[in-house]
Amino acid sequence: MDGLRELVEVALREDIGSGDVTTTATVAEGASARALVTQKAPGSIYGLEAAATVFAVLDSDANIERLVEEGVWREGGGPVMAVAGRARALLTAERTALNFLGHLSGVATMAARAARAVQGTGAKVLDTRKTTPGLRSLEKAAVAAGGASNHRAGLYDAILIKENHIAAAGGIAAAVERARAAAPALAHTLEVEVRDPEEIEQALAAGVPRLLLDNMDDVQLRAAVAQVAGRAQLEASGGVTLQTLRERAQTGVQWVSLGALTHSAPALDLSMLLELGQ
């Protein structure tokens, strides 16, 4: 990832501040050690590069060994990464490294659960822009590693016309026309948020290739699928959870977006243990 080292350095400055008081007081300056990072709960690991970068920033001579393949579900957990180097550096790096690795592995784990939930339905799970500021590219990479799909990376690489855009433009037809004229190279990505059968017809009449079905229940989604009858791809969005995901996917839509993949994924439980003199 471009900018990963700079991101790690910001995180370390936040944690270390003027210095790691406890480690400096309790660990001899020249001591060496080996640290073992272990996965303690079922899930998929992602974020090894970020964690390795944390250790490398504090000890450029550290020997870092990756012990697991990213994106592979591990029911029993186990060793993830081993790092040998200066003991002080390993201890100072611990929390920041585990924060990156635990959070990103949590995202990959939720993405894996979501992808598993829709198996056999013909639908795919999408992430959203509801990401942690500064971590979007890492979180979206974790989503993909877990087996779900990425939506647009940002406001610059796709056209998604939502209700506020429609209101500002004076209607769906006007918004679509303006978007196509302003960004013809992105016309193939055009998607419009619709809330009812009338708006669906307006978007179809404008030749929109993809519709975002906003906050519709399963009955409404099935009706929308029948109304569209293959004339556009359909994405269900709003209020979706892991528990309701499969029901949404079984309505006949092509996509179900799930903001929780990135904004509510619980961190995967990881630990680091240190052995001195390694």
The DSSP line for 124-146 is EEE--S---TT-HHHHHHHHHHH
- One-letter amino acid of 17: G
Q: What are phi and psi of 31, to 5 degrees?
A: -70, 140
Task: Give residue-wise pLDDT tens across range 198-226.
Answer: 999 999 999 999 999 999 999 999 999 99
Domains of the chain: 4-114+265-276 (3.90.1170.20), 149-257 (3.20.20.70)
**66, 129, 130, 231: the active-site residue:** 130
Q: Tell whether pTM > 0.85.
A: yes
- CA distance linking residue 62 with residue 68, whole number of Å: 18
**Farthest CA pair distance, the chain:** 73
Helix axes 197-205, 218-228, angle to 10 degrees: 30
Phi-psi map region of 134: left, alpha, beta (phi>0 left; psi -120 to 50 alpha): left
What single DSSP character describes residue 177? H
Task: Give residue-wise pLDDT tens across range 98-125.
Answer: 999 999 999 999 999 999 999 999 999 9
* pLDDT at site 125: 98
Name the band, by pLDDT with cuts 50, 70 and 90, for residue 94: very high
**65, 162, 218, 275: the active-site residue:** 162
* pLDDT at site 277: 74
Task: Say whether 162 is catalytic.
Answer: yes
Task: Say whether 95 is catalytic.
Answer: yes
Tokens representing 89 are 């550096």
Residue 96: which of 264, 260, 270, 263 has the closest Cα? 270
Task: Say whether 40 is catalytic.
Answer: no
